[in-house]
Amino acid sequence: MMASKLDYSKWDNITDEDDEEVDQNFRREIVKPGTEEKIIGMTSKGSEKGRYEFRHDGRLIYEWDQSLDEVNIYVKPPPGIAADMIECEIKPRRIRLGLRGNPPFLDEETFGFIVQNESSWTFVDGEITIILTKMRKAETWESALKGRGQVDPMTKEEIKKKIMLERFQEENPGFDFSGADFNGAVPDPRNFMDGVKYS
């Protein structure tokens, strides 16, 4: 049987007991030498522009990104996995992902609420993509899954800028905002100027 030759070790379940350890590891607080001052390290960039990594015990668990409307989670399962072997359940505030008949690889609460019937998953070129439609358009998620790989403050500002520019482009389709910049802190894309418009 082919299933017995597959390496499932990468898909060991990450349990809630790991939360404290993960939070400490991924905040990347570094004490500046000779002081008590803590510096927050930069969030690890993913394999493609705009993606961020979540690692656990040195292993890449998933990458993620977000836009005005969606949060995408990218997972590379072990070699030899076919789409019909994957089980992915998407609920309004939780996702479960794993191999049929095995404990889930991920069973986590999402950072924000999602629209379940507009969310989906695909398996293309050896990568699972979970597409989560945000319940609150333009909401800036600090991580894809609650308590897992929260982005640093600088990265959060980059994400807010990207979402804000997407919002401007959607609301003003005749203009090009690709080179736009902000002076100072980026406003909250969801609430800026009477809030986001739904079409």
- Reduced to 3 states (helix: H, G, I; strand: E, B; else coil), residue 198 is coil
Predicted confidence band at 31 (pLDDT cuts at 50, 70, 90)?
Answer: very low
Predicted pLDDT at 198: 66
Predicted pLDDT at 56: 85
Query: What's the average model confidence in pLDDT over 175-179?
Result: 87
Please give the full DSSP string across 26-52, using - where no structure is assigned.
Answer: HH-EEEPTTSS-EEEPPPPB-SSTT-E
Close Cβ partners of 103 (under 8 Å, ≥ 6 residues apart): 13
Taking all residues of the chain, what is their mean pLDDT, rounded to a whole number?
A: 82
Q: pLDDT tens digits for 49-98?
A: 889 999 888 889 999 999 999 999 999 999 999 999 999 999 999 999 99
Please check the confidence at residue 32 and state whether its pLDDT lies above 50: no
Give how far the C-alpha of residue 91 lies from the chain's centroid of Cα atoms, to the nearest Å: 16
Query: What's the average model confidence in pLDDT over 159-166?
Result: 92
Closest CA to 124 of 70, 72, 66, 54: 72
